Amino acid sequence: MAVKRRQPTMADVGALAGVTDRTVSNVLSGKVPVRPGTRDAVLQAVQTLGYQMNPSARSLRTGRTGFLTLALPDLTIDYFAELANAVLNEADRLGWSVTVQQTSTLRERELSLVSGAGRNFSDGLILLPHALDSRDRNLLVTDLPMVLLGERIFDGPVDHVTMSNVKAAQAATDHLLSMGRRRIAAVGPNPADTTTTAATLRLDGYRQALRDAGIDVDPGLIAPAVAWNEAHGVKAVDALVDHGVDFDAIFCFNDSLAFGVLHALRQRGIQVPHQVAVVGFDNVTATAYTSPPLTTIDSGVGVIAQTAVQRLIGRILGTLDGAPEVFVANFSLVRREST
């Protein structure tokens, strides 16, 4: 007859890690401060024993579930997938769990998350809105803590973690200008945008760089992309070439677009970077392995994820108070063989 194995307890974890039950609880609940060495010892003991906290018991004891919700528009986009991974890693490091939801840019899904109806078993929300915008900021006044990502809603009633879209796009365009390129196409604007978005901000940076260089902005060089994926990168190049537009460089508003652009240029027999130089935006992992490797903007996804998680947990635990703040991550240009 098989004997049922006893499930490890918090006391077992503490004994193995050489700490008290309370310290184990503090680590697993995300309470601070806990010394890094102690936290590592506890997490190692958890892994060794296969300990799993009872979420219901934890909720009754602390009033918290230990779960965060991360909501992103489209997890098939490399940047969003890597952002989700970075958020999961940071939350795990701090002893929290994350449920990830895809909004598919649907307004009703974003509203459900903000209202709480779509956030079962969660202490707080990290949201990158796409359908909501600054006109909806009053909807963000809720009981549950929230941190915003992206560019849709500024001056809202919650913490906001974002990136330097304008300056980074300007730096990408300046890099192409420094190479002597003067006919620089911009792939990524969305004609449907009626409010501030990453696309509008990156277009502003592109235009500013050209103006500073004394170059008129040619509308024919601005190639729209309704979706920021490889297929629309291909469509943009096809449209430029088929319409006889003369260009010697392309600034892509994200790396997924750039992957499609590189593919389309190769299919057309256009050499990169000799005939056309290409710059992307986000520095996702695959950029180092394209042919040729892609020059891109590192937008600081790791710092964005860490800051968002830490600020949200701080709001949940009450260790972070005061008025909502906006944090803007630094960026850098990563030069590779596509320029």
Any residues with CB less than 8 A from the CB of 170 and at least 6 apart, and which?
Answer: 205, 206, 208, 209, 212
Residue 60: per-residue pLDDT: 44
Q: How high is the mean pLDDT of the chain? A: 90
CA pair distance 24, 274, nearest whole angstrom: 58
How many other C-beta atoms can be found within 10 angstroms of the C-beta atom of residue 216? 7
List the structure tokens of 109: 């899904």
* All structural domains of the chain with their residue ranges: 1-25+32-49, 67-163+300-331, 165-298
* CB 297, CB 332: distance < 8 Å: yes
* CB 185, CB 222: distance < 8 Å: yes
Condensed to tens digits (0 to 9), the pLDDT of residues 12-61 reads 888 999 998 788 877 776 555 678 788 788 888 887 887 766 554 554 45
Residue 337: per-residue pLDDT: 98
pTM: 0.81
Residue 16: per-residue pLDDT: 92
How many other C-beta atoms can be found within 10 angstroms of the C-beta atom of residue 71? 23
Residue 322's φ and ψ, nearest 5 degrees, are 95, 180
In this structure, which CATH number among 2.40.40.20, 3.40.50.2300, 3.90.1490.10, 3.20.20.370 belongs to the domain 67-163+300-331?
3.40.50.2300
3-state secondary structure of 2: coil
Q: Which uninterrupted H or E stretch holds 186?
A: strand 184-187
CA pair distance 15, 7, nearest whole angstrom: 15
| Segments of the chain scoring below 50 in pLDDT | 1-2, 56, 59-60
Top-level CATH class of 165-298? Answer: alpha beta
CA pair distance 255, 218, nearest whole angstrom: 23
Residue 296: per-residue pLDDT: 98
